[in-house]
Structure 1
Amino acid sequence: MTLLQAYAVLVYIQLVCASLPSLNDTSIIHTLDTSDSPCSNSTRTLWNILLSCGLTLFACTWTAIHTNIPGMEESRVAITSRRVFLMVAALIAPELMITWATRQFFSARATAKKFNNEFGAQRAQTHSGDRDISEGTATLFSDIRESSSTPRPAEEFKEWTMTHGFFAWMGGFMLYVDGKPRVTLTPHELLEFVGDGYVDMPLISEAEINDRSKGDGLSKAIALLQLAWFVVQLVARYGQNLPITLLEIDTLAVAALTCVAYGLWWKKPKDVGCPYIIHWKARISPSDLTYDEADVGFFQAGWARSSIYIVYPFGSLIGVNVSMFDPAPRSHQVVSLGGYGKYHDMIVLLIGCFSGMVFGGIHCLGWNYLFQRHAEHILWRTASLGIVCAPVPLFLAIRYAMWMGNMGDFGMASEILVLLISPFIYIVARITLIVLMMLSLRSLPLGVYDTVAWTTFIPHFNM
């Protein structure tokens, strides 16, 4: 089943559920008139709310996330498990997705520019230095044969785009040695090997890369259309003073941040299954491209493997250098959750922290929500402010460490303390919001089941 087919089935389920008996009897505040008319055009059911939010969250997470190319030896279970992990991470902390997408965006742009500068200049020099053999008769056949056998990768080089840069960082180029897959090349390694003549320049066009992608413009447009329609409904409800559930507020926060990541990933191929093969031509073997026995042995240790699988994904998303523990080269793939270089670290950090503050700020829309208990009201406000404020000390601590360099023992201890406390506050606040959001479904405010009167937005004139 393709993505479009699956999405069509979900939309069909949403329409079917709209005709099912209402679940409004779970509300102790809602009036009896609305619950007795689930098929009325002026009401909606709890199923409608849950399914609308569920479809929007699905579009924000499962369809919007652009993963790297999986390993050749990875099973379907491992690939799906990683995708589920990213989906959960996007639901809990969508600013991590923005941080990841921002790093990959800067890395892809820098890589495309670097290849164009390197081989584009070489191609210009090659063509300007070519001799026209039709004007002279003294050119020897041996000279022509010698020049044609010399590696000239820049002569056929085509300009790289952002898509090429994304493809290179997501594990798009696999090195084969003696007819067997060896390792996924990073853009830096590919640039070096092509320049040294060890491998041929991969002549793959942007259209060929997009042909490998499972996500086309139509599927992306459908996902964005679902997000846009959800936002329009909330804005219309706000304009008509209709209450909004906490679940819808949380969905709006996730959708707003995911749209930013979606824009940054727009040129990145989606769900590519196979890399582009590059063959090693040199006689010497590239032995320095794999882990040595000590690294592999350490990773195979049970305690190390379990701890790294917990710590590594989050560190990889925010740019922490933990690649020495990553099992990617053993499975012939790029870093599972990486795929970026060290470009504009300060800007990436600023965007990630600001996204976290925006995420908490959107939850502040429920500041005056009608909770059953006053304690729940205070907890929601406190947790929303906690998410807004948690990224601030994290940003200042990292920025201060980058500015100072050597901070001494006290400074290092203070920074570690901040790096531990800030994420802890965020995690506690996020869990609190999720619990309160689920508890709020027990009793929804009066008017939450009323639908938007769209005719009020249409200009009309009295005759």
Structure 2
Amino acid sequence: MSAVNVTNRIKSTAGPQTSHQPRLGWVSPPNQRGTAGIIWSCFLILFVCVWAVLHHNIPSKTDSYWRIFGRKMRWATLAVYAPEPLTLFAVMQWNAANISVAEMKELGEVNWSVVHAFYANAGGFVLHTPDCSAFPIDAKSIYYLRSTGWIESPKITRENIWDRSKADLFAKGVALIQTGWLLLQCIARAAQGLAITPLELFTVAFTVPTIATAFFWANKPQNTSEPTTIATDWPITDVLKAAGDAAKGPYVDTPMDFVEKPVWEGWKRRPSLLHFGGLHQRPLARIPNDYSPPPPTGKEAMFAWVISIAHAAVHIMGWTFSFPTHAESLIWRACSSTLLVVMVFGGAVPVLSTRLWFDFSFNLLWIWVREAKKPTWQRRYLFEFLVDFAYVLYITARVLIFVEIFISFRSLPGSAYDDIDWMLFLPHV
């Protein structure tokens, strides 16, 4: 390529996407990248990333293939539509696993690893007692039963647990390579002034919380289907009697609820959005995927907050994109700004609700709302109204962004289909 052609090429591709360019609809790929190729590559990245990052808890033995498949599809949809909650779940479970390791070490259990703790909190240990149906016990319950002398430490090794895991390292490697390649392409296209499609920008944004989720779930066994049985000759009622007043109330999930109740406010009304279906018996036969034993510390809440803000901020990069109509451009700007504002101020609530940002405790906002001696109407409803309103804004903005991602393909800037000229990045003498 001559120097003149290189110069002309740079001039023709430079400039923001708002410049006047021919607009194209569906494009076939023989001589340039096509519409189907863009859609397929982004969908492949989304699929592989979701496949690699989801670490579901162990299903019950009575769950059918289709029930498990439907559960995975619901969580896959959540992972694509709103990946931030998945990152928060991963952070909280990682925190719970580390707490469990520290507690078990106090008992002299040096072989209890983070993998054991993740496995336990995923429903990997099932307690069989003579007077109750079998039910899973989490790491906190194992610690309680072990510290009070009811059980011995489980003998399963870290290697045995990983043998039961079906972690797809190949899929994780492919996801990482594809994510890196897409990011490199987007940077190169921006450097050469080539248009980036909204779908590509959305996919890049999706990878931000997904990589964080994968990091925190790195030691959680994946797709494990076989739990470890802990059989006893003592009835569970003996444990409850020995616990005294702490275990007098009726349980909601399992008889070990008194050890550590779910952290959700109104825990007897577990949020149906994240787990609906599949919990029809008591005690529970499996630990739900939305069960997160302690909330994150201040540092972890801060990290999840930053990741959520970064995810929303990537959408802002589409501010100067050339959309088919000016109204659609305004919708994208409004929706991406809404996501960012909701994440900035909504995420600040759990962060500011931590004590010195290092020990999670609702001591600034939550106590003001819930624990006042004489809660006023404002304290009772205003906070909830603001939270619900933020949810509505977030969901509406996400829906509109999804719609625009696909309808924008009817008319994209011509340079969206131009291939990257990698030779331009080589030094010329």
Cα offsets for 1:156-200 (capped at 9, x unmatched) = xx5222211111111111112359961101212212222333323
Deviation per CA, 1:37-79: give whole Å up to 9, x if none. x333xx1111110110001111222331111111121111221
Post-superposition shift, 1:119? 2.5
Taking a change above 3 Å as real, the CA distance of residues 54 and 112 of structure 1, as seen in their structure-2 partners, is same
Following superposition of structure 1 onto structure 2, how do residues 348-359 of structure 1 map, counting pairs within 5 Å?
Answer: 348-359=300-311
Aligned to 1:172: 124
CA deviations on 1:391-418 (whole Å, 9 max, x unpaired) are 3443455634235363422222221111
Change in 2 beyond 3 A, CA 1:397/1:167:
closer
Which of 416, 432, 436 in structure 1 is aligned with 2:404? 436
Matched, 1:455 2:423: yes
In 1, the alpha carbon distance for the partners of 2:298 and 2:272 equals 21
Specify the alignment match of 1:92 in structure 2: 81
- Equivalent AA in structure 1 for residue 119 of structure 2: F
Higher deviation after alignment, 325-334 or 72-81 = 325-334
Using the aligned pairs only, state the percent identity: 24
Deviations 1:237-287 (A, max 9, x none): 222221100000111111121011011111111000011111114366568
Match of 2:393 in 1: 425
Count matched residues: 373
Residue 374 of structure 2 is aligned to residue 406 of structure 1: no
Q: Does 1:30 align with 2:21?
A: no
What TM-score do the two structures reach when normalised by structure 1? Answer: 0.73
Using the TM superposition, give the Cα deviation of residue 376 of structure 1 relative to its aligned residue in structure 2, in angstroms: 0.9
Q: Which among 282, 286, 298 is matched to residue 333 of structure 1? A: 286
Any residues of structure 2 matched to 1:280-319 within 5 Å, and which? 280-282=232-234, 285=237, 311-314=271-274
What is the letter of the counterpart of residue 30 of structure 1?
Answer: L
* 3-state secondary structure, aligned to 2:135: strand
Q: Deviations over 1:375-433 (max 9, x none)?
A: 11111101100000013443455634235363422222221111111111111111111
- Mapped to 2, the partners of 1:193 and 1:113 lie a distance apart of 16
Distance in 2, Cα, partners of 1:228 & 1:396? 30
Cα distance change on mapping 1:442 and 1:274 into 2, 3 Å: same
Match of 2:34 in 1: 45
Shift of 1:327: 4.5
Paired letter, 2:72: R
> Conserved in 2, the CA contact under 8 Å of 1:102 and 1:261?
yes
Which stretch shifts more, 439-448 or 327-336? 327-336
- Contact 1:213–1:272 (CA<8 Å) still a contact in 2? yes
More helix by share: 1
Q: Which amino acid aligns with 2:150?
A: Y
Cα distance in structure 2, aligned partners of 1:283 and 1:394: 45
Bigger Rg, structure 1 or 2: 1
Distance in structure 1 (CA, Å) of the matches to 2:22 and 2:59: 49
SS at match of 2:53: coil
Match for 2:403: what amino acid?
Answer: V
Q: Which runs of 5+ in 2 are unaligned?
A: 1-20, 241-246, 255-267, 354-363
Aligned match of 2:142: 190
Matches within 5 A, 1:227-266: 227-266=179-218
The separation in 2 between residues aligned to 1:373 and 1:50, in whole angstroms, is: 21
Structure 2 residue 193 is matched with structure 1 residue 204:
no
Letter in 2 for 1:402: W
Which structure 1 residue ranges, 5 or more long, are not aligned? Answer: 1-26, 121-157, 297-307, 317-321
Superposed CA deviations along residues 67-108 of structure 1, whole A, max 9, x for unmatched, are 111112111122111111111111111111111111011011
Supply the distance in 2 between the matched residues of 1:254 and 1:230 (Cα, whole angstroms): 12
Distance (whole Å) between structure 2 residues aligned to residue 332 and residue 295 of structure 1: 9
1:224 CA displacement: 1.6
